[in-house]
Amino acid sequence: MKIGIVGKLTKKENAPVISDIVKWLESKGSTPVLDSELAEFIGSKGGIPKSKLPANIDIMLVLGGDGTFLSAARLLNQQNVPILGVNLGGLGFLTEVSLNEVKVVLESVIQGEFATENRMLLNVHVHRHSERIADYVVFNDVVINKGAIARIIQLDMHIDGNYVCTFRADGLIVSTPVGSTAYSLSAGGPIVHSAMNSVIITPICPHSLTNRPLVIPDSSRVDITAKITNGEVFLTLDGQVGFSINESDVIEVKKAASELKVIKSPTRNYYELLRTKLRWGEF
């Protein structure tokens, strides 16, 4: 089995941990395939460009935090490659397997004894003067917000061609169910089970108290038009990729045709993750 490995490169203490996992995989008869940067990070020879990993592996192993997982998830767009996240970071809501149990879980994966769940992705298109100028795929969320010196912004929203409302706010978040526990939750959005078929729309500090979060079917198409920007406005994808928005730009968001295949933790369910990672339900 060829196991692609991407990892968090900002913590030097991760290098020996990752090296140990690579050697262990080799001892089990698997073939670790590292991206070039990670190979250099741990002092290993070889490695291939990260963009070429999906076409050369059977499983994607992420060793890091949620940010590392998000970048790997976008890399697997339209690839039928299962992904497993191992937490070497902080919160680790997406990288739900702990370091203590990684070898036990990987043993099962190598033997083909694992279950997967499909997670929806979002396609994001930016239109300027009727021309599509940008295309993105996101796993967590799409965020439109103001720059450091911008005042309140105005955003018109249509769903399936129907006018919904005009937001006057600091910004707007459109998220997947998985992304509902990220920025959307901090902005007052609902927790939506990751297996639900839905899209969550959450305004950021809206000027009107009547602008509440909205959950819509995942078959919907959301079009957001930047009407009054009063300064710099940015489109941010999964908190990692940024794009500058001009007045009258239209951001189109809809469910992607492909889904991400996530390997389930054999030791934790979704509700345990909420309790242990987010401390949900604590008094």
Residues marked active site are found at 66
SS (H, E, C) the chain: CEEEEEECCCCCCHHHHHHHHHHHHHHCCCEEEEEHHHHHHCCCCCCECHHHCHHHCCEEEEEECHHHHHHHHHHCCCCCCCEEEEECCCCCCCCCECHHHHHHHHHHHHCCCCCEEEEEEEEEEEEECCEEEEEEEECCEEEEEECCCCCCEEEEEEECCEEEEEEEECEEEEECCHHHHCHHHHCCCCCCCCCCCEEEEEEECCCCCCCCCEEEECCCEEEEEEEECCCCEEEEECCCEEEEECCCCEEEEEEEEEEEEEECCCCCCHHHHHHHHHCCCCC
9 vs 204: which has the higher pLDDT: 204
Q: What is the pLDDT of residues 105-115, one digit of tens each?
A: 999 999 988 99
Q: What is the pLDDT of residues 233-273, one digit of tens each?
A: 899 999 999 889 988 999 999 999 999 999 988 877 888 88
In this prediction, residue 12 carries a pLDDT of 85
List the single range of 87-96, 121-130, 234-243, 245-254 with lowest mean pLDDT: 87-96
Whether this prediction's pTM lies above 0.75 is answered by yes
**Please, what are the domains in the chain?**
2-115+264-278 (3.40.50.10330), 121-257 (2.60.200.30)
Tell me what percent of the residues of the chain surpass a pLDDT of 70. Answer: 96
Q: What is the pLDDT of residues 52-75, one digit of tens each?
A: 999 999 999 999 888 889 989 988
In this prediction, residue 159 carries a pLDDT of 98
List the single range of 59-63, 155-159, 228-232 with lowest mean pLDDT: 228-232
Q: What is the pLDDT of residues 168-181, one digit of tens each?
A: 999 999 999 999 99
Provide the pLDDT confidence category of residue 80 given band limits of 50, 70 and 90: confident
Count Cα atoms within 13 angstroms, Cβ side, for 170.
7
Give the Cα separation of 158 and 160 in Å (integer).
6
Whether 167 has a pLDDT exceeding 80, the answer reads yes
In this prediction, residue 184 carries a pLDDT of 96
- What number of residues does the chain have? 283
Q: What is the pLDDT of residues 18-39, one digit of tens each?
A: 999 999 999 999 999 999 999 9
